[in-house]
């Protein structure tokens, strides 16, 4: 069962952003620093004022769907000040990343469309630089 962590505020020199949902799994499933990982990234533009409802729907609906994909390792959602919502899922193989995008786009269309200004986009590929603490 994934662990859902609370929302966090972050600020860089230029922008402030909010992570609205984070999922992590057992430390025993974390990659070794040399293991390749693959990211599935989805973007959408939220209607202003919908962040809390997006958070609720993502926690209740998207997280169970994405974390059930074979090879799942982690899931993050970032809500930027311009209402851009970016979901990043990490998998131990490319097939898992692609499958998560397929499932997520279908779920987004059915469950988040009224909260978005247009359709979400998705891409998947190898993470070419990564490190773990």
* pLDDT digit string, tens, across residues 9-56: 545 455 454 555 444 443 445 545 568 999 999 999 999 999 999 999
Domains and CATH numbers, the chain: 3-126 (3.30.70.100)
Better-predicted residue by pLDDT, 61 or 133:
61
Distance CA 133, CA 110 (A): 37
Q: Residue 39 phi/psi, 5° resolution?
A: -110, 140
List C-alpha distances in Å: 123 to 75, 89, 100: 15, 11, 10
Would you say 25 and 74 are in contact if contact means Cβ atoms under 8 Å apart? yes
Residue with tokens 């994405």: 66
What DSSP designation does 31 have? Answer: P
| pTM, rounded to two decimals | 0.76
**Nearest-5° Cα angle at 79, 51 to 16:** 120
SS3 category, 35: coil
């Amino acid at each position: 069962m994934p662990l859902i962590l609370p929302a966090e505020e972050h600020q860089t020199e230029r922008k402030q952003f909010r992570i609205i949902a984070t999922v992590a799994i057992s430390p025993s499933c974390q990659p070794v620093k040399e293991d390749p990982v693959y990211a599935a990234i989805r973007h959408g533009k939220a209607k202003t004022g919908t962040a809390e409802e997006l958070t609720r729907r993502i926690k209740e609906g998207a997280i169970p769907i994405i974390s059930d994909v074979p090879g799942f390792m982690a899931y993050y959602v970032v809500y930027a000040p311009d209402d851009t919502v970016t979901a990043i899922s990490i998998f131990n193989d490319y097939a898992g990343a692609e499958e998560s995008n397929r499932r997520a786009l279908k779920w987004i269309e059915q469950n988040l469309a009224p909260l978005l200004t247009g359709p979400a986009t998705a891409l998947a590929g190898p993470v070419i630089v990564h490190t773990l603490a």
